[in-house]
């Protein structure tokens, strides 16, 4: 029996925003074999392919392999080295709080290889390097599988993403054995041990239990020690020289390291492999000596304060029409949140939708455990609102980002003038509750074409709200509204660009300082000041025109930059900033990320 058979937990708790019965699942722990039965019984009616937003907690892994099939692979034929990659340590994970050298770049040859690997390749954790871990190899075929299984993180899965020094499709954990000696250019390397995945993979791929999934599926990659030093150049052939232990593939060792963890007979055999690395051999020997399996939770989840909580799973528990084109969506956390926080005024949240699509939406009400969104179906939708309106159904599980505050109230103001248009009302719904409870002076001026969403919530504002319906011939008079503002008033606006521009212009005409006018935009500005960007690794410079984004300019010179929303909401197009002043726009970065990064689409 496996001492650490993979399991995932669901916790479905009542949601205060949802007045229907909760799903009939509560604190269910499903072991590997139960998961397999569920998978087999639901193969024909599952909606995984229709709604590819599942992540490991809801994705059902295949059954573990029979370890007796992981032996005696045929020798692989010589194949060319595609790239060598190296990277420097920088605070690139966990919102800039976690140091890592995951992000490696290709190297032009010839590259010197020493007994410690590539001299310029760094390791943030000292036990990640050393003679037994000089080089990391990864099978690029795994990336295709990851994309199918974790489509919400698809844009992350590309060669080099696991921090590997070299990669190929021709070899994997199932056809490489411990002790294999390979010639690569001038050097000779020896397979020493499987990689031990750690919690940083969770941050790297924005999947809460990525490290656990990696070892469960035997896709960790493997390490080399360098037997003969020398130089290597991309294109050099990789050839198998000798194979002393064909019965011990990397995958078979991983099986007893991560899945069937208490098989004493196998552990006694494994520790006798002379070429096995000291780290893995030490783990097996400790199990034999102590009679217990080491605690892997710290390695897989991270130390206190470094757990991957940026993205979590939420189930859609209610979907209700507010108007012909506005729908309310209520989401509830799949895992229990013991002390949920109330939604702060001006909060937004990012949702991972189909494929790599990420969109940010204002949170209307609720808590971090259960919250409501109001989303309009945009006729010109680039995928986000269309997907949510037309493809999601109650019961779907989506990957949801941390709820953050990007458009807060000026709480010290004596008076709040709120001007909203259309779906822009959602930026203020949470603020109304705060303002009423704090007994602050505020007034909502809300312009609609015809229908009014969230009628009961707006009606509860009483005389503090005025609705201007175009269908009834009622129009906003911005001059009349803002003429009443004084130096202790703050003005907030969200809605169509034309409305927001008019608010800014009118406020300026009355001498209202810009610091008292707050804007929440849904689209990106189309012009700005031209600037020059220097690319640190290549030393090249890129001129960015007045009507270009940095993303446009980088793509124009052939740079491969990920992007999704391209209006500053999703954070996909993030690039590191080494020096220079950045005027940040959009909601795709947390405040602590803005110190070292920027959104290239803005």
pLDDT digits (tens, 9 = 90+) for 429-442: 999 999 999 999 99
**pLDDT tens per residue, range 182-224:** 999 999 999 999 999 999 999 898 888 899 999 999 999 999 9
- Cα angle: 259, vertex 304, 285; to 5 degrees: 35
Closest to 192 in 3D by CA, of 266, 89, 117, 289: 117
Residues in Cβ contact with 398 at an 8 Å cutoff, skipping those fewer than 6 apart: 53, 313, 314, 315, 316, 331, 351, 352, 353, 392
Give pLDDT, residue 587: 64
Give pLDDT, residue 51: 31
Helix then strand then coil, in percent of the chain rounded to 5, is 25, 25, 50
**pLDDT tens per residue, range 135-185:** 999 999 999 999 988 887 887 899 999 999 999 999 999 999 999 999 999
Residue 79 has pLDDT above 90, yes or no: yes
Band (98; pLDDT cuts 50, 70, 90): confident
Considering only residues 39 and 218, tell me which one the structure prediction assigns the higher pLDDT. Answer: 218
Which of 40-49, 394-403, 436-445 has the largest mean confidence?
Answer: 436-445
Task: For residue 451, report the phi and psi dihedrals to the nearest 5 degrees.
Answer: -80, 150
Q: What is the mean pLDDT of the segment spanning 116-123? A: 94
Level-2 CATH architecture, domain 1-46+309-406: Beta Barrel (2.40)
Distance CA 203, CA 196 (A): 16
Residues in Cβ contact with 395 at an 8 Å cutoff, skipping those fewer than 6 apart: 23, 315, 316
Give pLDDT, residue 124: 86
Give pLDDT, residue 117: 96
Level-2 CATH architecture, domain 67-301: Beta Barrel (2.40)
For the four alpha carbons of 30, 33, 34 and 39, in that order, the dihedral sign comes to positive
Residue 86 has pLDDT above 60, yes or no: yes
Coil vs helix vs strand at 40: helix
Helices (H) and strands (E) in the chain, counts: 14, 31
Q: What does the domain layout of the chain look like in residue ranges?
A: 1-46+309-406, 67-301, 415-520, 527-602
Residue 318 has pLDDT above 60, yes or no: yes
527-602 has CATH 3.10.20.30 classification: yes
| Beta strands 187-194; 181-184: pairing state | antiparallel
CA distance to 16, 201, 478, per residue, from 101 (Å): 43, 12, 53
Q: What is the mean pLDDT of the segment spanning 480-491? A: 93
Considering only residues 50 and 504, tell me which one the structure prediction assigns the higher pLDDT. Answer: 504
Task: For residue 237, report the phi and psi dihedrals to the nearest 5 degrees.
Answer: -80, 145
Give pLDDT, residue 522: 63
Give pLDDT, residue 54: 34
Residue 53 has pLDDT above 50, yes or no: no
Give pLDDT, residue 315: 95
Residue 588 has pLDDT above 80, yes or no: no
Residues in Cβ contact with 186 at an 8 Å cutoff, skipping those fewer than 6 apart: 228, 230, 231, 232
**pLDDT tens per residue, range 248-271:** 999 999 999 999 999 999 999 999
**Omega prior to 110 cis, within 30 of 0:** yes
Give pLDDT, residue 420: 96
Give pLDDT, residue 596: 81
Give pLDDT, residue 407: 77
The neighbouring-strand residues paired with 456 are: none
Q: What is the mean pLDDT of the segment spanning 52-67? A: 64
Q: Helices (DSSP H) in 272-402: which residue ranges?
A: 278-290, 297-301, 384-390
Residue 304 has pLDDT above 80, yes or no: no
Which of 357-371, 397-411, 454-468 has the largest mean confidence?
Answer: 454-468
Distance CA 315, CA 434 (A): 26
Distance CA 597, CA 311 (A): 19
Could you count the other beta carbons within 10 Å of the beta carbon of residue 44?
A: 5
Percentage of the chain lying above the pLDDT 90 cut = 56
Tell me what the pLDDT averaged over the chain comes to. Answer: 84
Percentage of the chain lying above the pLDDT 70 cut = 85
Q: Which fold has domain 415-520?
A: Rossmann fold (3.40.50)
Distance CA 224, CA 384 (A): 44
Considering only residues 534 and 69, tell me which one the structure prediction assigns the higher pLDDT. Answer: 69
Considering only residues 292 and 4, tell me which one the structure prediction assigns the higher pLDDT. Answer: 292
Distance CA 510, CA 494 (A): 20
């Amino acid at each position: 029996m496996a001492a650490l058979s993979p399991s995932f937990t669901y916790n479905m708790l009542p949601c205060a925003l949802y007045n229907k019965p909760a799903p009939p699942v509560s604190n269910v722990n499903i072991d590997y074999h139960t998961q397999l039965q569920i998978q087999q019984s639901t193969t024909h009616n599952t909606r995984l392919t229709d709604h590819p937003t599942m992540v490991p907690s809801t994705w059902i892994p295949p059954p573990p392999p029979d370890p007796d099939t992981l032996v005696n692979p045929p020798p692989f034929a010589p194949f060319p080295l595609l790239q060598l990659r190296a990277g420097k340590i920088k605070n690139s994970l966990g919102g800039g709080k976690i140091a890592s050298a995951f992000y490696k770049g290709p190297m032009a040859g010839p590259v010197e290889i020493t007994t410690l690997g590539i001299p310029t390749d760094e390791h943030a954790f000292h036990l990640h390097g050393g003679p037994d871990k000089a080089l990391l190899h990864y099978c690029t075929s795994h990336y295709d599988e990851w994309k199918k299984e974790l489509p919400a993180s698809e844009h992350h899965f590309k060669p080099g993403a696991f921090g590997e020094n070299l990669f190929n499709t021709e070899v994997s954990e199932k056809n490489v054995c411990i002790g294999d000696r390979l010639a690569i250019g001038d050097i000779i390397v020896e397979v020493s041990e499987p990689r031990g995945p750690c919690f940083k993979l969770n941050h790297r791929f924005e999947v809460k239990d990525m490290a656990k999934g990696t070892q469960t599926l035997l896709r960790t990659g493997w390490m080399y020690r360098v037997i003969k030093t020398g130089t290597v150049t991309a294109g050099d052939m990789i050839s198998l020289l000798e194979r002393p232990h064909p019965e011990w593939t990397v995958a078979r060792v991983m099986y007893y390291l991560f899945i069937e963890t208490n098989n004493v007979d196998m552990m006694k055999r494994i520790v006798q492999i002379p070429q096995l690395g000291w780290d893995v051999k030490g783990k097996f020997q400790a199990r034999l000596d102590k009679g217990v399996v080491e605690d892997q939770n710290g390695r897989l989840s991270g130390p206190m304060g470094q757990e991957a909580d940026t993205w979590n799973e939420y189930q859609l528990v209610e979907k209700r029409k507010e108007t012909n084109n506005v729908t309310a969506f209520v989401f509830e956390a799949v895992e229990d949140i013991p002390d949920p926080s109330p939604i702060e005024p001006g909060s937004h949240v990012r949702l991972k939708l189909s494929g790599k699509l990420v969109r940010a939406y204002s949170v209307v009400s609720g808590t971090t455990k259960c919250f409501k969104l109001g989303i309009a179906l945009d006729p010109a939708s680039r995928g986000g609102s269309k997907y949510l309106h037309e493809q999601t159904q109650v019961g779907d599980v989506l990957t949801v980002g941390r709820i953050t505050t990007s458009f807060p109230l000026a709480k010290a103001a004596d008076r709040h003038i709120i001007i909203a248009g259309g779906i822009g009302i959602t930026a203020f719904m949470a603020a109304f509750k705060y303002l009423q409870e704090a007994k602050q002076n505020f007034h909502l001026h809300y312009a609609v074409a015809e229908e009014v969403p969230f009628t009961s919530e707006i009606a509860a504002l009483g005389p503090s709200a005025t609705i201007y319906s175009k269908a009834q011939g009622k129009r906003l008079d911005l001059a009349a509204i803002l003429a009443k503002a004084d130096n202790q008033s703050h003005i907030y606006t969200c809605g169509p660009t034309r409305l927001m521009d008019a608010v800014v212009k009118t406020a300026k005409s009355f001498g209202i300082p810009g610091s008292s006018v707050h804007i929440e935009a849904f689209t990106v500005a189309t012009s700005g000041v031209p600037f020059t960007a220097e690319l640190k690794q290549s030393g090249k410079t890129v001129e960015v025109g007045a009507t270009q984004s940095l993303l446009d300019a980088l793509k124009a010179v052939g740079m491969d930059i990920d992007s999704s929303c391209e209006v500053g909401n999703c954070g996909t197009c993030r690039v590191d900033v080494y020096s220079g002043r950045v005027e940040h726009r959009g909601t795709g970065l947390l405040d602590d990320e803005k110190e070292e990064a920027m959104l290239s689409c803005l």
